[in-house]
A and B are shown apart, each in its own frame.
Chain A
């Protein structure tokens, strides 16, 4: 079974440019999460999709970040325009829909560097 995949693995852009990150969850997982780790800090929750619906986007830093999950399959996270403080590793995770314990499976992350 394929795990969570993310593309690209690395992205280097200049301040003011736009970047789109992609996440493909494990097939059949309705829940999809985005997290971010800024250098030296904790991994922070950004948002949570159930199928194509945003359930919780309380962790999104500001309106320069836009996440979509059209059709309830893969998800994209767009940063426009990118700022220096957006640099970090963006992780995607997915999980099945269970009433109690549901393990979140993480992708390898996309390392974003904004110059």
Chain B
């Protein structure tokens, strides 16, 4: 079955880079996603990458995809205290007539000043 794995915690200092890693199992996934959840808020789509891409950069965010190893990473440059949140990796899986998201357990990023 589908499974998405990611580390549970990451702690960095303000100004450092953060790298959150994720592995997934469904090789047919067309899109892979990173969602962010701040305390008391819903899930916010941070970025996504199409499965035929290796890398996507969006301001401070860099997504790397290794399709052979089914490994996805999110790098946040110059991490700020406002980046403290839970980050979820997700793959889009086509089931029947729709696309469901398969999530990992989330990585809690803690940024200290």
Contact = CB atoms under 8 A, between A and B. Distances in A.
Interface string B26-54: 00001100010000111111001010000
Contacts of A40: 105
A4 interface: yes
A106 B98 contact: no
Nearest to A100: B30
B113 interface: no
Given A35-B101, A45-B102, A91 B42 contact: yes
Interface of B: 4, 30-31, 35, 40-45, 48, 50, 88, 90, 95-106
Contacts of B41: 108
A44 B100 CA distance: 9
Contacts of A115: none
Contact of B48 (A41, A55, A101, A109): A101
Contacts of B105: 40-42
A106 B38 CA distance: 13
Contacts of A103: 45, 48
25 contacts: A31-B98, A33-B101, A35-B101, A40-B105, A42-B102, A42-B104, A42-B106, A43-B43, A43-B90, A43-B101, A43-B103, A45-B101, A48-B98, A55-B98, A56-B95, A56-B97, A56-B98, A56-B100, A59-B100, A101-B31, A102-B99, A103-B45, A106-B42, A106-B43, A107-B42
